[in-house]
Structures are given as C-alpha cells and as structure tokens.
Amino acid sequence: MRKINIFDTTLRDGEQSAGVNLNFSEKMEIALQLERLGVDIIEAGFPAASKGDFNSVKEIAQKIKNSSVTGLARCIKSDMDAAWEALKEGEEPRIHIFLATSPIHREYKLKLSKEQVIEQAVQSVKYAASRFPIVQWSAEDASRTELDFLAQVVEEVIKAGARIVNIPDTVGYGTPLEYGNIFRYLIENVPSIDKVNLSAHCHDDLGMAIANSLAAVEAGARQVEGTINGIGERAGNAALEEFSVALHTRADYYNANTRLKLNEIKRTSDMVSKLTGITVPANKAVVGRNAFAHESGIHQDGVLKEKTTYEIISPDLVGIASNAMVLGKHSGRHAFKSRLEELNLTVSEEDMNHLFTLFKELADKKKEMTDEDLAALVLEEKLSKDDRFFDLISMQITYGTNQVPTATVSLRDCDNEMIQEAATGAGSIEALYNTLERCIGGKVNLLDYRIQSVGAGRDALAQVYVKLRYQDVETSGRGLAQDVLEASARAYLNAVNRVIFVGGKDQVLQPSR
C-alpha cells in the first residue's frame, strides 16, 4: 500500500476559524495530542504573524519529537527568517512557503506577471532551501490556475530545491474530477515531478473537501493536508478524521493508508472541540454523537443481527469505548492517577494532588465520573491556571418569576484584593454578566453565548463558551462547572483574563468599588 503523509494544520489554518483564540498552553496540548495521534507533519503556526505565534511555534518545535513541525511563511525573506529562528531547534525543521498563481490573484492581489511570479517563487525556494532541509512550496489558488502555467512554475520550484509541492483548492472551487485531473496533468507534464511529493490541501466551501482530497490520492498525491473536525477559514478544511477513516475503510479501493492511530481520533476531536469552542455537529461523520446511533426499526433489527448491515465503522476503531471505566466518590488516588495515564492526560505531581481534590469534591455531587468528565476536568484546570487575573470566589443569583433577577459576585484580582459587586438584569445570565462587568471595569460586549453538557444525565457537567469584546479585543472563553450559572461566570472571566494576559497586567482597568 502507498503511505499517505498527514499534514495537520489545525494550529494554523484551523485557528483562523472565526472566534477561535487559542493560548500557548492550549496549542501545546493539541500539538501533543496530534503527536499521539500519529500526524506526520504539524503546522504549528505562522511565526512572522506575531510574537505570540513565533513563541508558540518555537516551543512546539522543541517539544515534539515524533512528528515534523513546520511553520507557514510568505515568499518574503523576513517571514522565512522568522520561521527559521522558530523551527531550527526542531527534530526535523521544515518550512511551508506559498505564493498565489491564479489569474485573479496575479492581477488583483499580487499585481505580478507570470514571469514575475515564477521569479519570486524560485528565489524564495532557493533562499529557504539554503537553511531548511525540507521546503514545501504551495501554489495558492492552484485549482483556478492555468494548467500549463501551473506545470511551468512547479517545475521551476522543484529545480530550485522544493521537496514537497502543495496544490491547494484554496477557495473550495474544484470538483473531484477536476481536482484529480490537476495532479494527473502535473505528473504527466512536469519533467522533475518524481523528485517531490505532491500534496493536497482542500477547503470545504462547496462541501467537497474530503471528496477532492480522496480524488487527489487516487491521482497520485502522497500527502494530504487538513484539520481536526474540519475547522478552518470560512467553511473549513478537509476533516482529517474523515479522510483517514475513509482511506482505512476503503483500503480495497484506494490501496493507501496513513500512520494515524485511529483509536486516538475521538479523543483528539473532543479536545479540539473543547479548546476551540467549536461544537461537533451530532450528525458529523466519524466523530458526531449520532455517527453510530441507529433509530430506525429496520436499521436496529439489522444491526442486532449483524453489525455490518448498517455499520461500516466500529465505534472502537476511532476510540469510542463502550466499556469505559467509571470512577466515583469511593475511588482512590491510585485509580484516579491510573485512569488519567490510560487517557494520556499527563499532569505533574503537584497538579495531581490538586486535581484529585477537585475530583473528590465533584464526585461527591455526581453519581459517577466518566472518562469524558475526567478529560474535561483535567484540561480545564491545566489550561486555565496560567492566565488568572480575576478569580471567582463566590456568587449568588436571586431569581423568581415575580421578581427582578439579581446577582452578587465576589472576585479576587491579581493583587489579591477582593472585589464585590451586585447588579440586576432581565434574566439570571444578564444579571450575572452585568455584575461581572462592574467588577472588572470597562465595557464588555457579549457577542456569543453557548452551553452544552459534558456527558449525559441530570448531574452532567455544564460547558459554557462565550465570545466577547473587551478593551477593543475580540476573544473567547470557556467555563466548566456542574452549575450552568457558575460555568457561565467562569467562561466570562476566562475570556476577560485572556485579554489581560496578552496585554499585560497594567492594562487592567480599575473597577468601580
């Protein structure tokens, strides 16, 4: 079978999804999980975009050992220099540079002729190759580029030192037949094509990203790019979990596979969903909660008699365990620690003591703690402690059908001073958020509010996601608690704390006391 390399761009293209705002700790957790999943290449970010992106890429490159880490750069010397400084200490430094090639981009964006595009591409690849052992070059908007010109520029960048050539369907315009034919044309018409791997990068604007990616593999591509859960710009990218399972399930047809550990898919999907705040639709292929549910009587009868009648993917293939260990209030520290290790949730000994205390407190309120609860608890605690400038100490909400909802909140700020405020609102959440706004000082505009349960049952944990604007910065936050109002308060403060953390402690406005 042909080996297809998986290039994951969740931390770069995925983070460009509207409303997604990952901090360093969250990016590192995702990178470590992608490494466990078996991703070949992790695109950790765009080093030249910001100091934060640069530092994240650098730390991830130093930490990850079993996947190659890369960063994006324009065909600009300063971008490539930043990428080298961020990636040079990685296990296998590589750079991903891009330049648009389509007529519409040449005319309106670049304002360059065909000859100038080729010249800039060649010079950039040569410069990158003088430092990086592996250079990937992308023809932005390749699917709308004239085939003869695309073949010409691809030949020239190969001669200049490119090792991988990416043919993106940047705006999701191509159809499977058209996109596959681009790869066939290049294989037949580029003399040096045997010196590189061709890569597919598909967007889902017309819902064809997976079909196009598979068409590219059929036509000879040896690398496929995408994101977990298909997140990304506009309608997103090809969903890597869908692509890899399709390749596995139809190995008889594609005669190709990946090195992904498919039983890590669900855990990776859940982590990305939780940290980005982008909920996985119930009917989403492979990882949606209904992906293995059968409601129709005919389907149920068939599955009970023989699973393969209606189930072409087994839940355990992608890591959905039917016999997950359940912990409760009587479980000991050893059982707790062992289960975290089995779930690949790495925590320090200091954090372990704190987490076990939290676990016992929560287990006293909940009948049982599932793997999903444990993962949510650990991630929430590990990732929220880095940027706490306001801590929630206590809150009380008064609500009744014939009275005005009122909230009273006590916070502790970064100087260890107590802040107490009260306010009213049309509903409990509005009263709570009006009070928090008075506590932190400055105007806060709530742009989005979403709530979902972690697991099932009346005692399920509540996960709240918010998007808001504070100090002219749009950010997002999340909160986890058994009570929906407490989770709402924690999500609000998490978002505000992120803004302060990035801007520095001095940017905290003085609240009205």
Tokens 């596979």 — which residue?
257
Answer with the residue of higher pLDDT: 305 or 449.
Answer: 449
pLDDT band at 418 (very low <50, low <70, confident <90, very high): very high
H or E stretch including 436? helix 428-440
Quick one: 362 and 422 in the same domain?
A: no
Residues 123 and 135 in one domain: yes
Beta strands in 208-329 (DSSP E): 223-226, 256-257
Largest CA distance in the chain: 79
Give the whole-angstrom CA distance, residue 152 versus residue 182: 13
The region of weakest confidence among 243-252, 359-368, 416-425 is: 359-368
Average pLDDT estimate for 316-334 = 77
pLDDT over 80 (residue 369): no
Residues 267, 33 contacting (CB under 8 angstroms): yes
In a domain, 251, yes or no: yes
236 token code pair = 């997103």
Cβ–Cβ under 8 Å, residues 3 and 259 = yes
Instruction: For 189-238, write each residue's pLDDT tens digit.
Output: 999 999 999 999 999 999 999 999 999 999 999 999 999 999 999 999 99
Tell whether 177 and 53 lie within a shared domain. yes
DSSP characters over 186-216? HHHH-TTGGGSEEEEEEB-TTS-HHHHHHHH
Tell me whether residue 91 is in a domain: yes
Residues 441 and 404 in one domain: yes
Q: Which of 348, 365, 434 is closest to 397 using CA atoms?
A: 434
* Same structural domain, 227 and 371: no
Average pLDDT over residues 345-366: 82
Closest of 460, 40, 75 to residue 83, by C-alpha = 75
83 within a domain of the structure (yes/no): yes
Lookup result for tokens 């506590």:
439
Same domain for 444 and 463, yes or no, is yes
The torsion defined by the Cα of 22, 25, 31 and 37, in degrees rounded to 10, comes to: -100
Long-range contacts of 210-213 (CB under 8 A, 24+ apart): 210/238, 210/239, 210/242, 210/243, 210/246, 211/176, 212/169, 212/174, 212/175, 212/176, 212/179, 212/180, 212/238, 213/238, 213/243
Per the domain annotation, does 307 fall within a domain? no
What pLDDT score was predicted for residue 408? 98
Last residue within a domain, chosen from 349, 369, 384: 384
Q: Which of 196-210, 277-291, 330-344, 436-450 has the highest mean pLDDT?
A: 196-210
In a domain, 301, yes or no: no
In the DSSP assignment, the letter for residue 227 is: B
Q: Is residue 397 located within the same domain as residue 363?
A: no
Q: Which of 453, 449, 442, 459 is nearest to 489 (CA)?
A: 449
| Global pTM value | 0.89
- Cβ proximity of 52 and 24 under 8 Å: yes
Query: By C-alpha distance, which of 232, 230, 212 is closest to 221?
Result: 212
Band (513; pLDDT cuts 50, 70, 90): very low
Model confidence pLDDT, tens digit, residues 264-311: 999 999 999 999 989 999 999 999 988 887 555 555 566 566 767 767
Cβ atoms 500, 490 nearer than 8 A: no
Q: Using the Cα atoms of residue 476, residue 481, residue 487 and residue 492 in order, give the sign of their dihedral.
A: negative
φ, ψ (nearest 5 deg) of residue 257: -150, 175
Beta bridge mates, 461? 454
Supply the CATH number for residue 429's domain: 3.30.160.270
Q: What percent of the chain has pLDDT over 70?
A: 93
In a domain, 19, yes or no: yes
- Asked whether residue 63 falls in the same domain as residue 191, the answer is yes
Angle at 256 between CA 250 and CA 257, to 5 degrees: 90
The tokens describing 36, both together, are 């466990």
Stronger pLDDT, 341 or 201, i.e. the higher one: 201
The token pair at 107 is 């005319």
| 3-class secondary structure, 400 | strand
Of 164-178, 302-316, 498-512, where does the model show the most confidence?
A: 164-178
Give me the pLDDT at residue 363, please.
80
- In a domain? residue 495: yes
Out of 358, 384, 410, a domain closes at: 384
Q: Number of structural domains, the chain?
A: 3
| DSSP summary character for residue 70 | E
Q: Are residues 347 and 365 in the same domain?
A: yes
Q: What is the pLDDT of residue 196?
A: 98
The answer to whether residue 165 sits within a structural domain is yes
Domain end marker among 255, 276, 297: 276
Are 61 and 177 in the same domain? yes
Quick one: pLDDT at residue 234? 96
Q: Which residue has the tokens 């790019």?
A: 225
Host domain of residue 269: 2-276
Average pLDDT of 357-375?
A: 80
99 and 142 part of one domain: yes
**369 and 488 together in one domain:** no
Cα torsion at 34, 371, 454, 327 (round to 10°)?
A: -160
Inform me whether the pLDDT recorded for 127 exceeds 90: yes
